[in-house]
Structure 1
C-alpha cells in the first residue's frame, strides 16, 4: 500500500516555513531571509520515502492587515494551496506572538480536514520557556481541529513529523516519478535566487517594492544566458538598485550569478535591467503579468 498527496506549509511571515520546507526536501529551493514576505509564490517539491510520497508546498505568509492588493494576493495564494492540499501544516514560531488571522484563513482552518501544528524556533529557547510557549499556543488554538502537534526545531524531529503527516495522506499511487524533486521550471528558481539577493543587499523597505521577471532564458551547450528585469515602484528607487557607477547592480548580479551557477551546476551569463513599474503592488493588471493570482 502506498500513500501520496499534497502538504501545504502555512503560517504568518517569518514563522520558518521556508526553512522547514528546505530541510524536508534536502535542497535550498525556497528563498530565506530575515525579512518577511520573501516567499511570494507557492513553491512545490516532492519527497519520496519508502511507500509514502509527499508533495510539499511552501506558501507566502498570511497578511493580517493587508495594505494593498499585493498583500491580498499573497494570502490568496496561500489559501489556494491550503484548499488543494490533503494535509495542512500550520507552522508556528515559538518566538512569535499570535496575530489575528485573516477572516478567509480562519474560516478555512476551522474546517480544515487534516490540520497539523508544527512548532519552529524551539531550539532558540530555554527548555522551560519552550514548554510554556507550546502550552500557551495549544490553549490559544484549541478551537481549531488539529490532528497533531509537533516541535520540528531539531533534525531528529523531522522523522516524527513525516510519520505524522504521512499517516494523514490518502492511500494512492505515487503522483510523480520517485526521482523528481520539483515540477517548477528552472527560471522560477532563478527568480527566487535574484529576489533573495535583492533582500540581502537592499535596505529598509526597498526590497518589498521590488519584483523580478525572467525575460529570457537560453540554454547553451556550455553556458546558459539569462536576462532579468528588476522592477521598482518609484523613480527614486532605480538609482539605489543600480548604485553609484553601477556598483550595487554589479554586486547583485555577481552574487546572484554565483548562486544560480551553483544551483544549475553550469556557467551562466546573467544580464540585469532595472525598470520603474509605478505602484505595481496596487495594480491587478501588473500583478497578473508578474504571475500573481488575485482574489
Structure 2
C-alpha cells in the first residue's frame, strides 16, 4: 500500500504498523483488553457472553509503532445464522492479521475451551500467535498452570503472556511484544485516528450496551440497533435510532409501563454517547419488531453483517 512520506519515519527511525486480532471464547476479555491497549473505550463490555457481534477496530499509535487492533466476536459453534456471521467475522481476521492474540479466560471454572478443528487449524496457520492468559487477578495458580500446559500442547511455538485486562497488570509487556513482531511499514492510518469506523457505529453499539445492562434473559440478545439520522450541525447533536426486536412481547418490555423502560434506556445510552462524542446529545429512540431477524440473511445484511452463505437460512 502506497503511503505519503510524512508517515515513513519518525526522527529518522523506521516505523512499524500492522493488524492485531483479538480472538477467543466469549467473555475471555477481548473487548476489555482492546480498550486497555488503546486507552479508550471502543468495544462495549458487559458481564454477559456474546456481547460483541461485529469486528471493532481500535488504533494505537505511539513511539513509531501503529497497532491496529481488531476485536472480534467469540469463537463458538453457531446455533443460528447470526452466530454464523459472527464466527465468519472472527475467523476472517485470523487469516489476515499480522499478529493474533488468542485470549483464554484463566479463571473460568469449566477449564480451557476446546475450539473446533477448523478454528484450531486457522490458529496454527496464523502468521504470529500469542496466547494471552487473562484474568490473573481472579485465577488461582493452578488455573494459570493449566493454561500454560494447554498452550504448550496445542501451540508449542506460541509465547504465553499472563495478564489482567481489568487491572492492566502485564499489558505493557504484551504491548512491547506486539510492537517487536509487527512488520516495518508506513502507518496505515493517520496518527491521530483511534478507529476507522464511523461514529454512527459506536452510537449503535453504546445503545446496545445499555440494553444488555438494563434487561435480562433473551431480550438484549434479540436487540439490533440502526442509527437512522445523525445531525452533527444541530445543538444538541440530534440522533434518531431504531431498536429492533424479534417479538411484540420484547417490544413491550423495552418500552415498559408508561414508557419508563425506554426512557431509562435512553438516559443511559445518551450519557455514554455524550461522553464518547464530547458534546450534548438529543437521543430519539424508537422500537420496532422485525421477526426472526437473527435467522434471516436479508435482515442480517440490512444490519451490516457479512453472511458466508447468504442462501442458507435456518
1:140 maps to which of 150, 157, 167: 150
In the TM superposition, residue 156 of structure 1 has moved relative to its aligned partner by 4.2
What TM-score do the two structures reach when normalised by structure 1?
0.94
1:122 aligned to 2:136? yes
* Residue of structure 1 in register with 2:86 after alignment: 74
1:290 aligned to 2:303? yes
2:119 maps to which of 82, 105, 112: 105
Q: Distance in 1 between matches of 2:117 and 2:53?
A: 20
What TM-score do the two structures reach when normalised by structure 2?
0.89
Q: Distance in 2 between matches of 1:163 and 1:269?
A: 41
Q: Distance in 2 between matches of 1:103 and 1:229?
A: 39
* Residue of structure 2 in register with 1:174 after alignment: 187
* Residue of structure 1 in register with 2:7 after alignment: none
RMSD value over aligned CA atoms?
A: 1.3
- How many equivalent pairs are there? 290
Residue deviations 1:102-122 (CA, integer Å, cap 9, x gap)? 343122012112000111111
* Residue of structure 2 in register with 1:13 after alignment: 26
Unaligned stretches of 5+ in structure 2? 1-13, 309-314
Q: Distance in 2 between matches of 1:75 and 1:7?
A: 17
- Please give the residue correspondences for 1:238-277 in structure 2 after superposition, counting only pairs within 5 Å: 238-277=251-290
Structure 1 consecutive aligned stretches of length 4 or more whose deviation exceeds 6 Å: none
Q: Is the 8 A contact 1:117 1:146 kept in 2?
A: no
1:210 maps to which of 219, 223, 229: 223
Q: Distance in 2 between matches of 1:2 and 1:263?
A: 29
In the TM superposition, residue 44 of structure 1 has moved relative to its aligned partner by 0.5
* Residue of structure 1 in register with 2:100 after alignment: 88
Residue deviations 1:260-288 (CA, integer Å, cap 9, x gap)? 11111111111111111111111011101
| Change beyond 3 A, Cα 1:233–1:288 | same
Q: Is the 8 A contact 2:54 2:305 kept in 1?
A: yes
SS in 1 for 2:48: coil
1:29 aligned to 2:42? yes
SS in 2 for 1:27: coil
